[in-house]
Amino acid sequence: MSQESVAAPPAVIRRTADATTFPPWVVGVLVLGAILLGVASLTDDKSLMLVAGGLTALVGGATIFYRPHVGVLVILSTMLLSYPDALKGVPPFTINNMLGGVLLVILVLQLYRSRDYWFLRQPEVRLLIFLTLWLILIAWLSELYLPEKRLLPSIARRGVEGKSYGEADDTGRWIFELLSRLAFVIFFLNWMTTPTRVRWALWLFALCIAAAVPTLGPDMTKGENEYRITSKAVGWAVNLNRFAFMMNVGVALFLYLAGRTRALAGRLFFILCALGSIPLILLSASRSGFIGLGLVGLFSLGVAPIPRRWKGGVALAGLALTLLAFQFVLADAARERLLNINPFAPQASADYSAFAEGSRSTEVRMTTLAEAFEIIARYPLTGVGLANFRWVNAIMHESYKPPHNSYVWAAAEGGLPALFAYLALFALLWGRISRMRPHFKDHLILAGLPDWLRIYLILLLFFSMFADVWIEVHVYLIAAIAITLSRIAEDEYLRTRGLPGAQGGTAGARRATARALYRQDAAS
Which tens digits make up the pLDDT trace of 392-439? 888 888 888 888 899 999 999 999 999 999 999 999 999 999 999 998
Instruction: Count Cβ neighbours within 10 Å for each residue of 327-361 and write b for 16 or more, e otherwise.
Output: eeebeebbbebbebeeeebeeeeeeeeebbbbbee
* Per-residue pLDDT tens digits for 489-524: 888 887 777 666 655 555 556 666 665 665 565 555
Q: Which residues pair with 89 in a beta bridge?
A: 94
Q: Residue 102 is which amino acid?
A: V
Q: Of 474, 423, 410, 425, whose CA–CA distance to 123 is shortest? A: 425
* Per-residue pLDDT tens digits for 106-130: 999 989 888 888 899 999 999 999 9
Q: How many CB atoms lie within 10 A of CB 132?
A: 16
Of the two residues 246 and 216, the one the predictor is more confident about is 246
Contact 517, 498 (CB under 8 A): yes
Position 27 scores a pLDDT of: 67
Alpha-carbon distance of 290 to 285, in angstroms, equals 8
Alpha-carbon distance of 194 to 201, in angstroms, equals 11
Position 398 scores a pLDDT of: 81
- Per-residue pLDDT, averaged over 349-369, amounts to 63
Q: For the chain, how many helices (H) and strands (E)?
A: 20, 2
Task: Write down the pTM of the prediction.
Answer: 0.82
Distances in Å between the Cα of 254 and the Cα atoms of 205, 224, 261, 303 are: 10, 33, 10, 13
| pLDDT over threshold 60, residue 308 | yes
3-state secondary structure of 343: coil
Alpha-carbon distance of 144 to 142, in angstroms, equals 5
Contact 436, 489 (CB under 8 A): yes
Could you tell me the maximum CA-CA distance found in the chain, to the nearest angstrom?
85
